[in-house]
Chain A
Amino acid sequence: MKETSQLKRILEKGEFAVTAECGPPKGSDPDAVIRKAALLKGKVDAVNVTDNQTAIVRLSSLAGCILLKNEGLDPVLQMVVRDRNRIALQSDVLGASALGIRNVLCLSGDHHSFGNQPQAAGVFDLDSIQFIQVVKTMRDKGMILGGEPLSKAPNLFIGAVENPFADPFPFRVVRLSKKVAAGADFIQTQCIFNLDRFEKWMTLVREKGLTEKTFILGGVTPLKSVGMARYMKTRVAGMDIPDEIIKRLERIPKDQQRGEGIRICVETILRLKEIQGVSGVHIMAIEWEEAVGEIVERAGLLPRSTAN
């Protein structure tokens, strides 16, 4: 199985890439994933499958990726370092590649105290940056941590996340450069609502030469309601939602807020397209995958290229 990641192909061609996210079900139900696949097919270049997001037990991201792949999508395997040690992580990397998964996103993961298994032992054997480096070494040098050679190197396009809105602001660019130096081929950012701040961050990122070395996809999330916006603003760490957005939603009657949320999302994408160094968008429509198609269409991003 040799094929390249569709996401990689699009980005290397210089096209503005579109990715989305698929949250697996809290059960052994493959249809839940297959239904989401149907909503996203043809609308995006690749689909991330989250890895027990918020430390809530869900169908594994690897299984979710295989289900998506069977539906003809290009999956991005999200892997957190919270739950597995270096043995399991490297093993899963080998397994994913063997099963035809071509993209992996390496993250720390939300702390297990947030989820439904707060009594679990958090692993954190590697951190996300070390993990990126391990995957790159496996792919490019055909060896695991410690130097032992692999019988066959995995074939993976390596991604990482960055949050331009987390503190400390000046250090975020240093952290990004470490991820790039470790081997991140592409970056998906946390969702963007404060475009001015994002543009500032992109300026620093460009100045550091990072846009020459990695593809940056700006994250967006359509807001369903003013309540959701307020919640995210105050209760979710690392989120920057300007008051103007809240006010915009407040002015709209409740049953029309979704529409406004989509409008804001589309506007954000249109602005992202204009920012130098932004190579694509990552749409995180949390439990609202139906909205992705509409957003992508209204942002002028259809049709997507198909694999040759």
Chain B
Amino acid sequence: MITAEQKPVDEIRKMIAPYKSILVLGCGSCVAECAAGGEKETGALASALRMGAKMEGKPALIQEKTLDRQCVRDFVIQLDEIIHQYEAVLSLGCGAGVQAVADAFPDIPLLPALNTEFLGETKDQGYWLENCLGCGDCMLHIFGGICPLARCSKQLLNGPCGGSREGVCEVNADVPCAWQLIIDRLSATDALGRLEEIYPPKDWSRKQGRGPRRIIREDQQG
């Protein structure tokens, strides 16, 4: 999933200040999973913003709605019926969602209420971990299901570096050394010998070689 966190409320209030009617648009997908932009969070933010506006003596029309997903144009265009009554949209979608809405309604200012962060898993309630950087050339089968690019602070394919200490990354004590994890995982399945090989330089062109990426599937098209 894509994770995100809400921007500080004063930053959001500054963003919406010029507008008298705002649609606060939530998303029921990834950002709901990470409790940043789902229906509950969208309702809470809208309520707080309305109260803030009243307290400033600058009441604004602030209404909320949550889509199942903001990143699918077919869902987004359904907003057509209601969106034009608002001067701006404050989106609690991830960056992909905000842009999809902006693209569908280019005349309406789109304001992001969230800071989109990473591709990751929900490790536990209230705990999300980055684990994929979308390199376009997955090698997880080699490294025991642990990505050395996303989870090693230096993206080493032939790690660990000299800063690995007691299974912890030198950069941040909260970060386990990915290479320690890989070594432990492969040792447990008797596959440690795999790491004696020198893994060649990553082909980064699969991530950035041709600019922003696209996927086209004709068999999926109408």
Chain A interface (Cβ < 8 Å from any Cβ of B): 82, 86, 108-111, 113-114, 122, 124-130, 133-134, 145, 161-163, 166-168, 171, 174-175, 177-178, 181-182, 190, 237-238
Contact = CB atoms under 8 A, between A and B. Distances in A.
A127 B165 contact: no
Interface stretch (B15-23, B110-118, B198-206, B211-219): B198-206
A117 B202 CA distance: 25
Interface string B157-193: 1111111111100111000010010010000000000
Interface residues of B, number: 29
With most chain A CB atoms within 10 A of its CB, the pick from B156, B164, B183, B201 is: B201
B157 A166 contact: no
B122 interface: no
Contacts of A82: 154
Interface in B106-129: none
A167 B171 contact: no
Nearest to A122: B154
A175 to B, nearest CB: 7
Contact of B162 (A114, A166, A182): A166
Nearest to B157: A127
A19 B165 CA distance: 27
A86 B153 CA distance: 18
A126 B204 CA distance: 10
A167 B170 contact: no
B201 A125 contact: yes
Q: Majority SS of interface residues in chain B?
A: loop
Interface of B: 153-167, 170-172, 177, 180, 183, 195-196, 198-202, 204
B196 A174 contact: yes
A111 B154 contact: yes
Contact of B201 (A86, A161, A166, A175): A86
Nearest to B161: A108
Given A113-B171, A178-B198, A166 B165 contact: yes
A224 to B, nearest CB: 22
A214 to B, nearest CB: 15
Nearest to A181: B198
A122 to B, nearest CB: 7
A238 B183 CA distance: 18
Given A124-B156, A145-B201, A237-B165, 12 more contacts: A108-B156, A111-B153, A111-B163, A127-B159, A130-B158, A130-B200, A134-B201, A166-B161, A167-B164, A167-B165, A168-B167, A238-B164
A113 B199 CA distance: 26
